[in-house]
Amino acid sequence: MGGLQPRLAVLLLGSLTAFGLMPPAGASSFDAVVRLLDTRSCKRCELQDADLVRADLRDADLRNALLQRANLSGARLDGAKLGGANLSFTSLQGASLRGADLRGATLEGTDLREADLSGAQVDTGSLATTHWQGARGIDPALQGHAELHNAGVAAAKAGRLPEAERFFDAAIQRDQEAAISWVARGIVRGEQAKTEQAAADFSYAAQLYATSGDLATSEQLLEASAKLKKDPQQGKDGGNGFGSQVVGGAMGVVQFLLPLAAKAFIPLAF
C-alpha cells in the first residue's frame, strides 16, 4: 500500500496531460514531478512552478532541486532533504517540515507561514527574507536581529502593537546597537501610551545615531524624547497615535518601520 499513492498520482498526471487538461510547463519539469511522486528522490531536479499542494513527500531527497515558485502548501516534508535547494518564492504555507534539512537552501521570499519546523535544520539568519509568521518549532537561536525586527514591523503594520513590542524587545536583545529597533520599539510603545518608556527608547537611539555620525536624526529623536518627558501624560487615554506623531514631520515614521535585510515585504507567491 505504501507505493499506491505515488502510482495513482503518476497515472492521474499522465491522464490529465494526455487529454490536454494539464499541459506541463516543459517535459523535463513534468518528468521531474512524476519521478518525485513515484520515488521521492529527485536531486537537482527542475521543479520550478510545480503544483505539489498537500503532497506526501516525507523523507524525500530534494537536495539542490530547483523549486522556485513551486506550491508546496500543506505538503508533508518531514525528514526531507532540502539542502542546497532553491526555494525562492516557494509556498510552504502550512507545510510540515519536522526534522527536514534546509541547510544551504535559498529561502528568498519563501512563504513559511503556519509551517511546522520542529527539529528542522536551518542556517542561522536564513529566515530573514522569509514570511514565517505563525510558524511553529523555530529554534530561537536561529532567529537573528533582522528576522525579529521584520516580524515586529509586520505586527506593527497589522496593528498588533503588544506583539510588535515583544518582537522589537527580542531584536534589541540580539543587537543592542541597532538604533532602528530602539526607535521602532519607542514608536509602538508611544502608540500604547507608554510614554516614559518610549522617551527612554528615543533617547538611547539618539545616542546610537550620534555615535554613527547621523547627527540630524539624533537631534530629532532627542526632541521627540524631550516632548514625551515634558508631558508624560500625553496619550495616556489610549495612545491616540502619539508614538508616530512624536517622530513625525520631517523625519517621518515610515523610515523606522521598514523591514531590514532587503525583505521589503516581498510579495507572497500564492
Residue 154 CA to residue 208 CA, distance in Å, equals: 24
Give the tens place of pLDDT for each residue, 21-46: 343 433 467 889 999 999 999 999 99
Alpha helices in 100-214 (DSSP H): 145-157, 161-174, 179-191, 195-211
Cell 518564492 found at:
89
What is the mean pLDDT for each group of 10 consecutive residues in the chain (270 residues)? 46 44 50 92 95 96 97 98 97 97 96 95 86 83 80 86 92 92 93 93 95 93 90 56 50 57 42
Nearest residue to 37 (alpha-carbon basis) of 71, 66, 68, 8: 8
Q: How far is CA 44 from the centre of its chain?
A: 25
Alpha helices in the chain (DSSP H): 4-18, 27-39, 145-157, 161-174, 179-191, 195-211, 215-230, 242-245
CA distances from 214 to 34, 123, 184, 207, 257 (A): 57, 33, 17, 10, 18
Q: Could you say which DSSP state residue 25 is in?
A: S
Contact of 242 with 199, CB cutoff 8 Å: no
**Hey, what's the cell of 214?**
547621523
